């Protein structure tokens, strides 16, 4: 019997984000799966990706509290 539960989130285009738990009856921990790929070009060369990841963390925290 599968006890886990997983939810796909549509936070940012081109990023696949999932949040889930291994046991939804006794949730002691959750996992977050973030997948992304892209190509760096001249326009995105100076993009600060720390702020992009920080923004994703904030959105996930908000969804987690719902």
pLDDT digits (tens, 9 = 90+) for 13-25: 888 888 888 887 7
Quickly state the pLDDT bin for 59 (edges 50, 70, 90).
confident
The answer to whether residues 63 and 19 touch, using CB atoms and an 8 Å cutoff, is yes
- For 22, 42, 48, 61, 62, the CA distances from 66, given in Å and listed in that order, are 19, 39, 29, 9, 7
> How many other C-beta atoms are found inside a 10 Å radius of the C-beta of residue 22?
15
Average pLDDT over residues 6-31: 82
Rounded Cα distance between 6 and 4, Å, is: 7
> What are the structural domain ranges in the chain?
5-36+44-65
Quickly state the pLDDT bin for 37 (edges 50, 70, 90).
confident
Residue 3 has pLDDT above 70, yes or no: yes
Stated pTM of the model: 0.50
């Amino acid at each position: 019997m599968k006890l886990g539960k997983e939810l796909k989130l549509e936070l940012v285009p081109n990023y696949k984000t999932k949040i889930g738990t291994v046991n939804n009856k006794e949730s002691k921990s959750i996992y977050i799966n973030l997948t992304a790929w892209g190509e760096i070009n001249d326009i995105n060369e100076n993009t600060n990706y720390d702020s992009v990841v920080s923004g994703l963390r904030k959105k996930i925290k908000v969804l987690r509290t719902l």
